[in-house]
Amino acid sequence: MKDKVVIITGGTSGIGFASAKLFLENNAKVIIIGRDQVKGEAATIALRAVGDSVEFIRCDLSKVSECQNLVKKIIDNYHKVDVLINNAGLYYEKAIMDMSEADFDEMMNINIKAAYFMAKEVAIQMKKQQSGAIVNISSDAGINGNFLCTAYCASKGALTVFSKALALELAPYHIRVNCVCPGDIDTPLTQNQFSGVADKDKALEELAQLYPLGRIGKATEVANVIYFLASEQASFVVGATWSVDGGISSY
pLDDT at residue 199, rounded to an integer? 85
Amino acid at 88: A
Of the residues 78, 91, 116, 152, only one is catalytic, namely 152
CB-based contact 216:207 (threshold 8 Å): yes
Q: Where are the alpha helices (DSSP H) in 79-149?
A: 101-108, 114-129
Alpha carbon distance 50, 118 (integer Å) = 26
Sheet order of strands, 83-86 included: 54-58, 29-34, 5-9, 83-86, 132-137, 175-182, 241-244
pLDDT at residue 188, rounded to an integer? 85
Q: Is 152 a catalytic residue?
A: yes
Alpha carbon distance 119, 163 (integer Å) = 10
CB-based contact 84:10 (threshold 8 Å): no
pLDDT at residue 200, rounded to an integer? 84
- Residue pLDDT, tens place only, 25-62: 999 999 999 999 999 999 999 999 999 999 999 999 99
pLDDT at residue 190, rounded to an integer? 84
**Furthest C-alpha separation in the chain:** 54
Q: Name the percent of the chain in helix, strand, coil, to the closest 5.
A: 50, 15, 30
pLDDT at residue 123, rounded to an integer? 99
Regions in the chain scoring below 70 on pLDDT? none
pLDDT at residue 194, rounded to an integer? 78
pLDDT at residue 139, rounded to an integer? 97
Residue 248 carries which DSSP code?
A: G
pLDDT at residue 145, rounded to an integer? 86
Question: Burial level of 197, CB count in 10 A (0-12/13-18/19+)?
Answer: exposed
**Domains, in order of start, for the chain:** 5-182+217-242 (3.40.50.720)
Q: How far is CA 182 from CA 117, 144, 156, 226, in A?
A: 22, 12, 11, 11
| Global confidence as pTM | 0.96
pLDDT at residue 195, rounded to an integer? 74
The dihedral through the CA atoms of 13, 46, 177, 113 has a sign that is positive
